[in-house]
Structure 1
């Protein structure tokens, strides 16, 4: 498939530029206005994301079989991506900590801050795409959190702590009541439904600005071979595996396209938080998160042209 420069430029301006513009607002305004990235992130994590999840899933029209296929697909793709990170770092004879850092970066894509808005801009007005993006977001976040924290703690045997943390994730807690409302066709009172919708609408701009504020504290990345390779594993292996494995799960159309997009996201800031909390080469992980975000301007434009 031949991708002409004008077409790529159009894709970048119409789909990616609005996302990066909001991130840039946070990057510039954060230090100048003394914005607290932790406050913005916690507000998004505990309030806005659950509201968004409930709003989408309570109104979703998707069969259980298809949802199961999508969840299995997302989990297998990202486990395979973590496997690629493990193989690359092992072949380079890196230390156990560096191997774990590669796996953390490989599996933890930014499917929330970046993934959801890019899906919305790529498929404007498509409820099917938004539902698919949300299902992938929940599945990928869950498996990434478990494997990421387990990898960071594999020498401490703390995988159960990761599993427990996932169970208590606010976005996942919002899923059962949303599915109950959906299946029973319960009509919520306007006071509640409108409040949830308003919070849901605030999620994307708040998360993008928060991402910019977080990245502003990282400074310019100092590139090393490991930084480049770990970022390439995240940005290239992810969508390549998603494209290759989609037929095995019977996925095509929007579900396939959204799955590939979500697999192509740069490393998530949450990966750097896990690295800091577990003393897993935090400077390396933070640098790679920032570098992969910058490099994704190119890689996501190409992936968008393909899907």
Structure 2
């Protein structure tokens, strides 16, 4: 039994490293190299991500998802409690660290928002290949994170720039939010998307991961990782350690078990959202720090996420 558990842990670890981490880091490295040689226009890359690629991904994620009402309600209840708790805890930490307004905004986003899509979905498919419900739950978490990023996350960046009075207008101007809402409407009304629209939409969405990671690489091309600011480690601790601890506590309190409990705990452990770095660049709100937090948390998550997967299987065994 111990041998099998050890084999499972090694399989999960090698799967995360080879199927998720290595491909991501190769593209990040390519972006960093290109920016050093060719001095890319980061503003253009930011606009491409924000106004073309992200909206396509957001719409497709919502439109393609299979949502069961009862399971969805239970999961959303947990997500509201968990993310609300992270918002409060990260705000308290920002106060304790005496961070100025804009830095506090970015710090809170690095703790609350996670890479549930391009990191979480491959990991969930790897871990729950025998239990499709686990992968479905990860899709729901991803959609929730999309809404959270484009409401709470944008509000944080806008308020960090001293424009809190205009936060509603800034959020409403966000094309990603429009895409999410349009996707929900089309999904609920069962509106068919003709192939001449769906094909280019899907191709644009497929380009998102590569270009977003390429942009992240360009952002950190000149970053010094031998002298990281202490706040980066605080962000990494909040995202990779504090978040799953809070999630585990809530799962026990709410009496959730089995595949649902495992999926929610694992979904809470993913690294800082890549979109945090993209939005920090778009709103010119400490983009270097945001990019460092994303990259460091992504590197360390190969170890921490594997640990959480192992803990989830021990704490919430699946019957039968």
User: What interval of TM-score do these two structures reach, taking the shorter chain for normalisation?
Assistant: 0.7 to 0.9
Are 1:245 and 2:232 an aligned pair? no
Match of 1:206 in 2: 211
Match of 1:41 in 2: 46
TM-score (normalizing by structure 2): 0.74
Are 1:196 and 2:201 an aligned pair? yes
Of residues 23, 30, 42 in structure 1, which corresponds to 2:28? 23
Tell me the CA shift for residue 193 of structure 1.
1.4
> Secondary structure of 1:193's match?
helix
Of residues 230, 233, 237 in structure 1, which corresponds to 2:238? 233
Tell me the CA shift for residue 192 of structure 1.
0.7
Deviates more, 1:221-230 or 1:119-128: 119-128
Tell me the CA shift for residue 50 of structure 1.
1.4
TM-score (normalizing by structure 1): 0.76
Q: 1:58·1:182 contact (CA, 8 Å) conserved in 2?
A: yes
> Secondary structure of 2:228's match?
coil
Are 1:185 and 2:190 an aligned pair? yes
Of residues 7, 12, 23 in structure 1, which corresponds to 2:11? 7
Match of 2:57 in 1: 52
Of residues 168, 171, 181 in structure 1, which corresponds to 2:173? 168
| 1:13-72, Cα deviation, whole Å (9 max, x unpaired) | 233332233222223333224333332332122112211222232232213554454444
Of residues 263, 270, 273 in structure 1, which corresponds to 2:268? 263
Alpha-carbon distance in 1 for matches of 2:39, 2:158: 34
> Secondary structure of 1:174's match?
helix
> Secondary structure of 1:216's match?
coil
Count of aligned positions: 303
Deviates more, 1:94-103 or 1:159-168: 94-103
The 5 A counterparts of 1:261-300 are: 261-268=266-273, 271=276, 287-300=292-305
Gaps of 5+ in 2: 313-320
Alpha-carbon distance in 2 for matches of 1:279, 1:25: 23
